[in-house]
Amino acid sequence: MNQTAARRYSTGAMLFHWAIAIAVIVNWRIAEAAEQAEMPAKAEIFANHKALGILILVLTLGRLAWRWTHPVPPLPNDLAKWEAVLARTVHIIFYVLLIGLPLGGWLANSMTGRDIDFFGLFTIPPLPVGANKDLGGSIFDMHALGGTIFLYLIGLHVLGALKHTFFDKNGGIFRMLPFGKVPE
């Protein structure tokens, strides 16, 4: 393996990263559209949000399995200690949110007596929890707050990738793309 390949993420990691990134952005836009809609269209739009959330959960679990079985390239050598700590912290929070947000949504749906229709292919049954509309509503509120926090962290992540690519010139975004220059 050449040095550039060792500094770049594997093809599988790239596929998971970009599939999840696109799905998260689309799911955010679906949630925004649902919030602006009136019933019954609102429920139909949220059905897609819920199904895509479950798909994001499955993709994230696949990405974690991939990460545990494939080497991750080291962070660039020129990062300040605080940048390396911030990068690792944000990535950990990403995984927590990528798992926690779909599970929280599923839990809240379960507590409010709703199944999750997976794009008309099959129905995901409620989790085996008791009905509690008030707690379910509170979990939906935390889900929305978590989604907002996630958006800010995504912005920070993108800004960091752009900084490392265009100012530090250490490969930045090209570490997660199959093209571009990644310095040795």
In a domain, 162, yes or no: yes
- What pLDDT shows up at residue 5? 57
Say which DSSP state 9 is in.
-
- What pLDDT shows up at residue 70? 94
In a domain, 94, yes or no: yes
- What pLDDT shows up at residue 170? 86
CATH code for the domain of 114: 1.20.950
- What pLDDT shows up at residue 107? 98
Strand ranges, E, within 58-139? 116-118, 122-124
3-state secondary structure 116-152: EEECCCEEECCCCCCCCHHHHHHHHHHHHHHHHHHHH
Question: Which residues make Cβ contacts (< 8 Å) with residue 2, sequence separation at least 6?
Answer: none
Angle, CA of 84, 87 and 90, to the nearest 5°: 145
Q: Which residue matches tokens 């998971």?
A: 16
Q: Looking at the 3D structure of the chain, how many domains does it have? A: 1
In a domain, 183, yes or no: no
Q: Closest Cα partner for 143 from 98, 180, 184, 76?
A: 98
CA distance 91 to 101: 15
Q: Which domain holds residue 41?
A: 3-176
In a domain, 43, yes or no: yes
pLDDT per residue of the chain (184 residues) written in tens, 0 to 9: 445 557 899 999 999 999 999 999 999 999 999 999 999 999 999 999 999 999 999 999 999 999 999 989 988 888 999 999 999 999 999 999 999 999 999 999 999 999 999 999 999 999 999 999 999 999 999 999 999 999 999 999 999 999 999 998 888 899 999 998 888 7
In a domain, 182, yes or no: no
In a domain, 184, yes or no: no
In a domain, 181, yes or no: no
| CB contact burial 114-152 (16+ within 10 A = b; e otherwise) | bebeeeeeeeeebeeeeeeeeebeebbeebeebbeebee
In a domain, 83, yes or no: yes
- What pLDDT shows up at residue 76? 87
- What pLDDT shows up at residue 180? 87
